[in-house]
Amino acid sequence: MRHPSEVLRPEIDSFGVAAIDERFSEMNDSYNEKRYGDSVNYARSMIESTCKWIYKSLNDKEIDKDRYLGLNSLIKGALSSLSSELSVKEQFQTVFSKLTDLVTEIGKLRNLTSVSHGSAVRAQPITSVEARFVIFAAEDITMTLLDLFFNKTHSLKKNAVHSVINPTDMKKIREDDTFITYDQKDDSPFETSTEFMVFKNNNVIYQVTVTLPKWVNPSSDQEFMSEHMSDYMEDDSIEKGKKGIGGYIYYSEKKDFLYEVQFESNVIYITSI
């Protein structure tokens, strides 16, 4: 192994979703306490909670309001809301179809355990090996969904608006209850400086302020201004309209992000809307 210290995925609880973290914790505690049937229950419940949370976060409504949805329908609903993050949608539909089948089998396995339903005969207890397989599969499914959700709701472009800041070589210059502001100086001869205002609770960039040399004229140096502006938005962003004097609205269809871009003399403000 060339990179033994590299982690291929974050822990589930690193996303900070209480409903999912609760089931993740109970799943692991049940397994370690040799309550393998309970651990399988919590594995399925963790996937259900993930699907419901993602769908509500993206669509602002409950996926199963006033109706019952099986696990297949829950996962299909969550994945449909995340489809813009798939590079080859048709091929991934096949992958997710098989994924859904796996989830369904997890549900069937849960139904065979003694903790799920009453039975007229003694139930065959699930073994530690079987429970561990279910747990690992449920973790993979949950992490895939959370990773796709994170990619959809955040920019993966380095230090762009909507991305999680990488403050290397930056200096913290301000902090209040809501925001932290970092400053980055440009070593190029253009003497450009950039400030990044980030949300304090999650380090996601809310606004980027680019200060260009004083000799820059927004009306005559539009291409120069545009190049600096585009560094901090999604690559597919296009102008959608004007806002006031020197203000413009840009939109990224892939990410469904809106930006307000304001020009004031030699300063550019790129702000999340």
Q: What is the pLDDT of residues 217-268, one digit of tens each?
A: 766 666 777 778 899 999 999 999 998 888 999 999 888 899 999 988 889 9
Is there a contact between 198 and 180 (Cβ–Cβ < 8 Å)?
yes
Dihedral, 112, 118, 119, 124 alpha carbons, nearest 10: 40
Token representation of residue 71 = 């696990």
Give the up-direction half-sphere exposure of residue 192: CA atoms within 13 A in the CB hemisphere: 17
pLDDT band per the 50, 70, 90 thresholds, residue 176: very high
Q: Nearest CA to 96 among 166, 145, 151?
A: 145
Per-residue pLDDT for 162 more than 60?
yes
Q: Residues of the chain with pLDDT > 90: what percent?
A: 43
Residues in Cβ contact with 106 at an 8 Å cutoff, skipping those fewer than 6 apart? 40, 43, 44, 47, 134, 137, 138
Per-residue pLDDT for 161 more than 90?
yes
For 141-157, what is each residue's pLDDT tens digit?
899 899 999 988 999 99
What are the counts of helices (DSSP H) followed by strands (DSSP E) for the chain? 6, 8
Per-residue pLDDT for 106 more than 80?
no
Mean pLDDT of the chain: 85
- State residue 104's pLDDT score: 73
Per-residue pLDDT for 115 more than 60?
no
Predicted TM-score (pTM) of this structure: 0.75
- State residue 105's pLDDT score: 78
Task: Tell how strand 247-252 and strand 257-264 pair up.
Answer: antiparallel
